[in-house]
Structure 1
Amino acid sequence: MAASNTSDAAEAYDNLVAQYEDIVHLDQIDNILFWDQQVMMPADGTPARSGQRSTLSSLRHELLTSDEIGTALSSLSGASLSDDQTAVVREIRRQYEREAEVPRELQRRLSQAISDSTPVWQAARRNNDFESFAPMLAEIVEIRQEQAAEIDPDAEPFDVIFAEYEPYLSVETVESMLHELRDELVPLIEEIRESDVDPAAGVFDGTYDADAQFALSEEVLDIVLVDWEKTKLDTSTHPFSFGNQFDVRMTTRFDEETPVDGLTSTLHEFGHTDYTQGLPTDAYGTPLGEPRSHGIHESQSRFWENQVGRTEAFWELIQPLLIKHFPNLDGTSSRDLYAAANQVYEENYIRVEADELTYHMHILLRFEIERDLINGDLAIEDVPARWNELMDELLGITPPTDTLGCLQDIHWSLGRIGTFQNYSVGSVFAAQLQAALESDLGDLESLIAEESFEAIHQWLTDAVHQYGQRYTTDELIEVATGEPLTASYFVSDMRSKYSDIYEL
């Protein structure tokens, strides 16, 4: 009897994994279509692309909520499984139970709205025209509210949407962390603004050709050991990295007046790429071959952007490349380059161009707006005014245009409401990872100076990448660092670093 049960469980598990692999394939196809839409597709291709992606979304929903998956999950309830198998079943069950509550037509409407809204957002951002984007945003918010009501009508709608991207950290935990960052960082930002030190004075004056910046980014990616056999680099309106262990499409963007932003953007997306390519190849098509969560993904991108890319050792390492591509920087010390790259801006409107400190006030602003939108406490037409109000409250500045304000991010046009807080989760965890890495390997600055990037890659793979979704988020943080998520390392690092740069 036991053997028969074991055999039945094994068959049910194999059927479940086979069904899920098809879902992963659909996700990957949709990623390629999105990449093409942002990078290659002709401007007038949206109507066809919207239909294509909507069909994929509908097929995905149908597969994920199919009787085959439901039957397999039922058969595996209480079955004796290995730890890896238990994790696979847990993650597929979580997705199945959420998706099964949402009507197929609602999923199709969301996919259609996302495809339709992206070019509208692009034009609205370009033309400083929130009014033209507002109807698309209203539709997406309405669909997300309907989804939340279908999944859990008794919960706050934002809490339900939040769990889609970070299912194992509570809204209360993350909100408390954001408020801790506000309480700790705002006084530090004020101290810096009162300082007489200007670390960026004259360092990056002038213009920096975008093609030269692209070439610089490619060479920097060589240094940090990007795998070009599995990576394609392009530019897009908003940088992203999508793909799998075998094929990652990565984009960045450049401003000819601020070369630091293009380089840090490239490193940020490389962090996503490194995580994706560090996932176990033999688990592709299962949750064990997929990243844990949005917050964990952001920890990897913020690690490479900040823990590596904003260090003095890194700027000393790449100084010859900077001079090669931009001879006007010849004679500028690596210390000055480093300090200028870590400038805390007086007027800092754009999140992806923000320094390490003010960045988190951008996140808190978006967290509060998204929560109020989804919970029905903020009207669409009031978004620009609320955005400007919070910018003034948190950073003491008011965007002169909506292009520099509420239209700057692509996320809302992609339906990704309830994700921004995970950038701060990622930053906090990245600092925690650095402390754990240094406990094992020694000082990170020394590792960078020695170009020991293979060792850094391997440590991150061993600590985070290799597990895919085997652990829940809180479990993975403890497995990687030996302690629960804490902002203490990040706050301490920021105080130490910026006290040095600004002579506080």
Structure 2
Amino acid sequence: MATEATADDATDAPEAYEALLDRARRWNAIGSAAGVLGWDQQVMMPEGGTPARSKQLSALSSVKHDMLTAEETADLLEALADTDLNDERAAVVREIRRKHERAAAVPVELVEEISEASSEALPAWEEAKATDDFDHFAPHLERHVELKREYAEAIDPDSDPYAVLFADYEPCLSIDRAEAILTELRETLVPMIDAIRDSDADLAVDTFEGTFPVDEQEALSRDALELVGYDFSRGRLDVSSHPFTSGNQFDCRVTTRFDESDPLGAIGSTIHEFGHAQYNLGLPKDHWGTPLGESRDLSVHESQSRLWENHVGRSKPFWELFLPTVKDRFPQVADATVQDAYEAANQVYEDNLIRVEADELTYHLHIIVRFEIERDLVRGDLAVEDVPEVWNDKYEEYLGIRPETDAEGCLQDIHWSHGNFGYFPTYSLGSVMAAQLYAAAEEAIDDLEGAIAEGDFDPLHEWLAENVHRHGSRYETNELVEEATGKPYTADAFVEYVERKYGELYAL
């Protein structure tokens, strides 16, 4: 079991360590303030506030970057290079050193050029999507690819450039491990989805058809958050165009969105964001502003949201518990059974082209298409002009459907307009991790499904807090998973989970 650093330990820490920790707390406080401004911009800020808000966020970002890359930070890290530190302090120095070295390696001029390219690419992408005109966006995508290759070369000229970009989002997993897991998902899911489409199973997919007023959906989302244990004294629920979570262990806010024809979408996204928030809220309060009080990287964060969304929110025990509340809000589903709701929540769509509307299985093929294309773009194995055709070919091969327009194909996501190459894989890597963590929780907790059906989420909260949340960034990803589950991080639990669950649902 990990031993947390105590206040008494800190009194005999090297002077350089305490100075480094103080700097980290200050630049993280600046980053946290920027996070609140970013949340406000997406949720509550008046439309006319954008010019000032952009300058505010830019100023805070510059101050934080300057502190992280400053000579004083480098000198403190150098002073600690040969210092004998305990495990917790060594982890703090490791995490700060990684961030410092990556940030300091990239010329300021290149950072500014990437920022400028993003500012210009975003409206071009919006127009290209609206007019179904990939050629309008292509020059901006080309520029992003070139700039991100320069960025990768500045950090590590001897490494695969895509691996360097991937490490911005997941620094603790090798690209080889990530690629092996994604390949296993593709090889498992493509034939499984084909078999599901050939199945004669008659699921109750029309249970939630009709009109579901937004105000009642919002009330239902609050019901769901209260049910699973969201601490509204340290958070809030709001609406945004794309659901997200923002905050820390003292203040972590979630957003969701509503579609009057799809109440399951709001329930799922709300519980998904709850998983992110619960992770942040469970981080050690005493270590706020330091790596020991920060979440591990995106794959781990996504594991928490996908665990709650899929393993809890799409489970039959959850619907045994929650369906009466849904019926109270929406009398039009009064005749629905628990099995009806469970089947509706887990249907596999036959013709969905949109990633954010995908079901639990086909979602990963949407991710894999993006991963394979952006990897090949960055490595120079694919030309920008060929992206639409390759995208459509992969959708036809993996999902059996072909986009008729680029707007519903390669232009549907915002990520590439920001130059965020390497981000997409973390969604699926997190889902795989969620299955392994949940399987370990089931082994450790006596009748976890029964507890969920009775509305007792404390055992699961406590297991996740003990095995994931309280460690912050002390452990790297593989080590954290092995500490929590007793096994190396693999796709085995995920494959077993989907084969069992969907085998039963579709009589495979």
**Alignment TM-score > 0.5, same fold:** yes
Question: 1:484 aligned to 477, 484, 488, which one?
Answer: 488
Task: State which drifts further: 198-207 or 37-46.
Answer: 37-46
- Partner in structure 2 of residue 179 of structure 1: 183
Q: Distance in 2 between matches of 1:393 and 1:89?
A: 46
Q: 440, 456, 465: which one pairs with 1:452?
A: 456
How many angstroms does 1:21 deviate by? 1.4
**Residues 231, 482 of structure 1: CA spacing in aligned structure 2 closer, same or farther, 3 A cutoff?**
same
Aligned residue among 85, 94, 97 for 1:93: 97
1:253 match: 257
* SS, match of residue 146 in structure 2: helix
1:19 touches 1:63 (CA, 8 Å); kept in 2? Answer: yes
* C-alpha contact 1:20 1:285 (8 A) present in aligned 2: yes
Is the Cα–Cα contact under 8 Å of residues 319 and 342 in structure 2 kept in the other structure?
yes
- Please give the per-residue CA displacement for 1:461-483, whole angstroms capped at 9, x wherever unaligned: 10101001101111101001001
**Separation in 1 of the partners of 2:45 and 2:404?**
32
Between 139-148 and 117-126, the greater mean CA deviation after superposition: 117-126
Note if 1:152 corresponds to 2:156. Answer: yes
Counterpart position of 1:305: 309
Deviates more, 1:399-408 or 1:167-176: 399-408
Q: Which moved more, 1:7-16 or 1:115-124?
A: 115-124
Partner of 2:469: 465
Aligned to 1:237: 241
* Cα separation, 2, equivalents of 1:37 and 1:367: 29
Given residue 436 of structure 2, which amino acid in structure 1 is its aligned partner?
Q
Determine the structure 2 residue equivalent to 1:335: 339
Does the 8 A contact of 1:291 with 1:297 survive in 2? yes
Q: Which runs of 5+ in 1 are unaligned?
A: 1-5
Aligned partner of 2:43 among 36, 39, 44: 39
Question: Does the Cα contact within 8 Å between 1:54 and 1:109 map onto a contact in 2?
Answer: no
**What SS does structure 2 have at the residue aligned with 1:249?**
strand
Residue in 2 that maps onto 1:3: none
Percent identity for Structure 1 against Structure 2: 53
**Shift of residue 214, structure 1, vs aligned partner:** 1.6
Q: Which runs of structure 2 are paired with 1:279-428 in the superposition (5 Å)?
A: 279-428=283-432
Instruction: Indicate how the Cα distance of structure 1 residues 326 and 117 shifts in structure 2: closer, same or farther if over 3 A, else same.
Output: farther
Aligned-pair CA distance for 1:101: 0.5
Deviations 1:176-234 (A, max 9, x none): 11111111121111111001223134312212222222221111000001011111222
Which residue of the partner structure matches residue 79 of structure 2?
75
Distance in 1, matches of 2:131 and 2:502, equals: 37
What secondary structure is seen at the aligned counterpart in 1 of 2:82? coil
CA displacement at 1:139 relative to structure 2: 4.1
Q: Does 1:49 align with 2:91?
A: no
Inter-CA distance 221–238: structure 2 relative to 1 (3 Å threshold): same
Is 1:18 aligned to residue 54 of structure 2? no
Q: Deviations over 1:241-263 (max 9, x none)?
A: 12111122322122222221221
CA contact (8 A) 1:46 1:116 kept: no
* C-alpha distance 317-426 of structure 1, shift in aligned 2 (>3 A): same
Residues 71-101 of structure 1, C-alpha deviations (whole Å, 9 max, x = no match):
1101101112111100000110111111110
Cα deviation for residue 432 of structure 1 reads: 0.8
User: Which one of 491, 501, 506 corresponds to residue 502 of structure 1?
Assistant: 506
Distance 1:215 1:112 in 2: 41
Instruction: Please tell me the residue identity of whatever aligns with 1:239.
Output: P
Distance 1:95 1:303, change over 3 A: same
* Residues 1:230 and 1:383: Cα distance change in structure 2 (over 3 Å): farther
Q: TM-score, normalised by structure 1?
A: 0.93
Contact 1:57–1:108, Cα closer than 8 Å, also in 2: no
Q: Tell me the distance in 2 between the aligned counterparts of 1:342 and 1:424.
A: 17
Deviations along 1:315-372, whole A, 9 cap, x unmatched? 1211112112221100110111101110000012222222221111111111111212
Distance, in Å, in 1 between the alignment partners of 2:17 and 2:43 is 39
Distance between the aligned counterparts of 1:348 and 1:294, measured in 2?
Answer: 26
Q: CA deviation at 1:113?
A: 4.4
Instruction: State the Cα deviation string for residues 97-147 of structure 1 (Å, max 9, x = none).
Output: 111101123223334544565565556555545455445444443332221
Structure 2 SS opposite 1:71: helix
- CA separation in 1, counterparts of 2:211 and 2:356? 20
Q: Does residue 1:218 correspond to 2:222, yes or no?
A: yes
TM-superposed deviation, 1:60: 2.1
For residues 17 and 356 of structure 2, the distance between their equivalents in structure 1, rounded to whole angstroms, comes to 42
Q: CA shift at 1:165, angstroms?
A: 1.3
| Secondary structure of the corresponding residue to residue 343 of structure 1 | coil
Question: Residues 89 and 453 from structure 1, CA distance in 2 versus in 1: closer, same or farther, beyond 3 angstroms?
Answer: same
Select 2:69's aligned residue among 53, 57, 65.
65
CA distance in 2, matches of 1:395, 1:307: 23
The worse-fitting range, judged by mean Cα deviation, of 177-186 and 204-213 is 204-213
Question: Helix, strand or coil: the match of 1:251?
Answer: strand
Report the Cα distance in structure 2 between the residues aligned to 1:234 and 1:122, rounded to whole angstroms: 24
- Residue of 201, 213, 225 corresponding to 1:209: 213
* Structure 2 contact 20–76 (Cα < 8 Å) conserved: yes
Residue 26 of structure 1: how far off its partner (Å): 2.5
Q: CA RMSD in A?
A: 2.1
- Distance, in Å, in 1 between the alignment partners of 2:52 and 2:436 is 45
| Mean Cα deviation higher: 147-156 or 292-301 | 147-156
Q: TM-score, normalised by structure 2?
A: 0.93
